[in-house]
Amino acid sequence: MRRLNQPLFVPHHPADTNKAPGKWLLSTYAQAQFILNDTVHFTKNNAASRTRGPEPGFDASMLFQDEPEHRRLRSLVEDLFRRTAINRYAEVVSGNAKLLLAEHECGDTLDLVQAFAEPLPLLTITELLGIPKTKMPILRRLSRAITSATDDLTVTESTYATKAAAYKDLGVLMQAGLNGEWEPPQDSLLLRLRNLTNDSTLRQDQAIAMLTLLLFAGHETTIALIGSCLYLLFAHPEQRRLLQANPDLLTGAIEESLRFESPLQRSTFRMTLSDIAIEGHYFGPGEQVSAILGSANRDEKIFSNAHSFRIDRFPNPHLAFGRGNYHCIGRHLSALEARIAIQEFLNHFGKSSLAGQAQWQPNSFVRSLQNLPFHLGA
């Protein structure tokens, strides 16, 4: 697609409630930048683009509002995600990483997704939100159900139904938290949202959508990042040795993993408000467009040797966290988690090796490993 500079039209599944018949996917870096930065020609108001109004899930969240409502919702929680605020989780993440790794020893063969990449971000996000750890298995199951229906290329009637049920169950769980079913920690996001609904700054549905979005976006993507980064470092031993000899390259290794195997391969869609030209392609009003971030991040016009994994790549202006007004609120949190995860793993088991074929989830939207067989060695 990139070479031909040809957008791809993907029709919506008949069960989809969007007014547009499908969405256009655009693949170059320049097109992705345009789509992510422009808030004049597009609307992100999901509810307005549906035939049947807002749906449970993310519709009432910041991600699917136009300005100024988007900024208002984002600013209610943004301070908690600034780099300095996020650093207070370093100890928690590092403690959890050590505990997870302590369950295994040299000589073990195991699946690192299940044993490490998956539980670590879930432990962190439940801590930040203020949801009891006992809810982790159900949260994980519901999140997986949503992920499986995020891929426009593979959705079916049945994945739609599963996703709708998962949104409903997550809504019930978050509502219970807002209603006081458990007492969240003083500095938790849940407590803040509870207070904001009590003083009518937020509607209940907005608080539920915010919690649901932060839970989902806050761990599904980071699982993908930690898994990919570990895989890439051990599939490219010369890059791993470079990192082990130069620990300062850790941030570079994470940024390069985000570029090379972008956890979200596509942006969320925007709907055109008027006639618009995007880098030579013309769209009328009411059409949906989305940027293929995974492709933009391999655009040879921007990245030399775009298909090589190089942890010392500089500069690395990847778009894995989006750009513009809707850029990822959780980028510092996920980068912190990934840094600690990789550092702790290399400290404990730096001489490990891949123990078979790693499998990617069959999903063209979330790029995440299904399993990562490893043989542990110190």
Binding site for ligand HEM (CB under 6 A): 36, 62-63, 74, 125, 213-214, 217-218, 221-222, 225, 263-264, 267-268, 293, 320-322, 326, 328-330, 333-334
The residue among 142 and 333 lying less far from ligand HEM, judged by its C-beta, is 333
The residue among 125 and 173 lying less far from ligand HEM, judged by its C-beta, is 125
SS3 labels along the chain: CCCCCCCEEEECCCCCCECCCEEEEECCHHHHHHHHHCCCCEECCCHHHECCCCCCCCCCCHHHCCCCHHHHHHHCCHHHHCHHHHHHHHHHHHHHHHHHHHCCCCCCEEEHHHHHHCHHHHHHHHHHHCCCHHHHHHHHHHHHHHHHCCCCCCCCHHHHHHHHHHHHHHHHHHHHHHHCCCCCCCCCHHHHHHHHHHCCCCCHHHHHHHHHHHHHHHHHHHHHHHHHHHHHHHHCHHHHHHHHHCHHHHHHHHHHHHHHCCCECCCCCEEECCCEEECCEEECCCCEEEECHHHHCCCCCCCCCCCCCCCCCCCCCCCCCCCHHHCCCCHHHHHHHHHHHHHHHHHHHCCCEECCCCEECCCCCECCEEECEEECCC
State which residue has the least CB distance to ligand HEM: 330
Residue 248: CB minimum distance to ligand HEM, A: 21
The residue among 149 and 320 lying less far from ligand HEM, judged by its C-beta, is 320
The residue among 122 and 276 lying less far from ligand HEM, judged by its C-beta, is 122
The residue among 73 and 110 lying less far from ligand HEM, judged by its C-beta, is 73
Residue 267: CB minimum distance to ligand HEM, A: 4
Residue 322: CB minimum distance to ligand HEM, A: 3
Residue 320: CB minimum distance to ligand HEM, A: 5
Residue 213: CB minimum distance to ligand HEM, A: 5
Residue 157: CB minimum distance to ligand HEM, A: 26
The residue among 162 and 268 lying less far from ligand HEM, judged by its C-beta, is 268
